[in-house]
Amino acid sequence: MRSLRLLHTADWHLGQTLHGVARDPEHARFLDWLLDRIGEHEVDALVIAGDVFDGQNPPIPALALFYRFLARAKRRFPRLDIVVLAGNHDSASRLEAPSPLMTEMGVRVTGTLPGGPDGAFDPAALVIPLHDRDGTVAARCVAMPYLRPADLPAIENEVKEGAKEEVEEGADPLIEGVRHLYDRACAAGQAALRPGEALLLTGHCYMRGGALSDLSERKILGGNLHALPVDIFPEDAAYVALGHLHRAQAVGGREAVRYSGSPLPLAIDEEPYPHQVMLADFAGGRLVAREALRVPRFVAIHRVPGNGRFATPDEALDALRRLELDPGLPREAWPFLEVSVDLPEPRPALRDEVEAVLAGRPVRLLRLAVRLTGSGESLADSAPAVELAALAPEDVFRRLYRRSHAGDPDPALLAAFDELLTSVQETL
Ligand SMILES: [Mn+2]
């Protein structure tokens, strides 16, 4: 029986800063930890399902971390297959540029959709063989990267010409475009599959019904309108390795369709849930076991008072005085701190008071959140004031629209706005 052990991870966001603090030391610790787990669990293949880097133009320390990781992984585990996909944060072409070198090393990188000599989508080029400990192919991985709206129109035309009858009345053309691409890619995977081999898929996308962690993921393919239904992945896929959502979860009730989650909390709000990578075992072409490996928290996050609550200034200062901190930690391991305070009356020196309590102590204040407790009403009229920063861009658009027109913008206009927003956010 051909068996294979896969380690699925995603959303590393190398180069990220959290409220101005670089995460490189945490990422370095994570990558050391990951190498040890690959050895300990005798992993055959590693899939990194997108958002390797936090930005389109990663800082040099982030690039160095990534390439050093790949070199160390291949030196320690020469037969390890590594598959790397671009996510919406990555520059697809930048990630892919060194792929001739990487392919020689047994590292396969997919940034953009591969085209044949005529420029048409070549799904067979997405199919990557994964090998067991004897060097025999035990799985075929359809390495689908993040799909940008611009990847889809060409396909949309094909949908119109080739498979018009399959597109339901009122179906979303973007979703149908993605579905069509997956259909073709999976067919190419199936064609390559030999008996006993497992079919694996990847994706970097926002699935319908996924649990979001507030702000650190950008909704993609045009916001909620284009959350993808889980049935775009055929049931005969043994496993679907997803990236984009930072909270580990199965999708749509299918245990074999999973977000691995990010290895580090990428926003303070992501502190409460476990961060992990996923081990998956395949035998005879099927998923037979899986195990989540919890990533140690290299830097603790303290939230005062915690759980999304707000304290009075005096309660907060008290809690800060009582905070137990380890004086033996190196500076790069000092905990992050968020303090949330309700202000019933002005207290202009609050920040100075907080900083005075923390002075000389081994902790890093990332955020002092202040909530005003007044009604928010302006003097001139009685409409409750809303902080612009508290609104999602789409809400601002809706409000602006309603100021000039009756009713809500129609779905086509909202979709156009979402597409513009996505393209702007991608360049941030
Ligand atoms: Mn993403």
pLDDT digits (tens, 9 = 90+) for 83-115: 999 999 999 999 999 999 999 999 999 999 988
Q: How far apart are CA 362 and CA 275, in angstroms?
A: 24
Q: Region 64-77: what's the mean pLDDT?
A: 97
Q: Region 398-405: what's the mean pLDDT?
A: 73
Hey, what are 393's tokens? 């861009």
CATH class of 3-294: alpha beta
Q: How far apart are CA 22 and CA 83, in angstroms?
A: 26
Domain-wise residue ranges, the chain: 3-294, 301-372, 394-426
Hey, what are 409's tokens? 């913008």
pLDDT digits (tens, 9 = 90+) for 373-384: 776 655 554 455
Distance, CA 330 to ligand 1 centroid (Å)?
31
pLDDT digits (tens, 9 = 90+) for 244-295: 999 999 998 899 999 999 999 999 989 988 999 999 999 999 999 999 999 9
Please report the pLDDT score of residue 382 as a whole number: 47
Distance, CA 275 to ligand 1 centroid (Å)?
16
Look at the block and give the residue holding tokens 């000599």.
Answer: 117
Hey, what are 387's tokens? 């902080």
User: Which range has highest mean pLDDT (295-309, 364-378, 395-409)?
Assistant: 295-309
Q: How far apart are CA 253 and CA 380, in angstroms?
A: 51
Contacts (Cβ under 8 Å, ≥6 apart) of 66? 14, 52, 53, 58
Evaluate whether 339 touches 315 at the Cβ level (below 8 Å): no
Distance, CA 300 to ligand 1 centroid (Å)?
24
Please report the pLDDT score of residue 163 as a whole number: 47
Strand, coil or helix: what is 348? coil
pLDDT digits (tens, 9 = 90+) for 20-45: 999 999 999 999 999 999 999 999 99
Distance, CA 8 to ligand 1 centroid (Å)?
15
Q: How confident is the model at residue 400 (pLDDT cuts 50, 70, 90)?
A: confident
Please report the pLDDT score of residue 204 as a whole number: 94
* Nearest by Cα to 111 from 158, 120, 125: 125
Evaluate whether 350 touches 368 at the Cβ level (below 8 Å): yes
Evaluate whether 396 touches 388 at the Cβ level (below 8 Å): yes
Q: How far apart are CA 80 and CA 347, in angstroms?
A: 58
Q: How far apart are CA 185 and CA 177, in angstroms?
A: 12
Q: How confident is the model at residue 168 (pLDDT cuts 50, 70, 90)?
A: low
Distance, CA 292 to ligand 1 centroid (Å)?
20
Distance, CA 1 to ligand 1 centroid (Å)?
36
Distance, CA 153 to ligand 1 centroid (Å)?
21
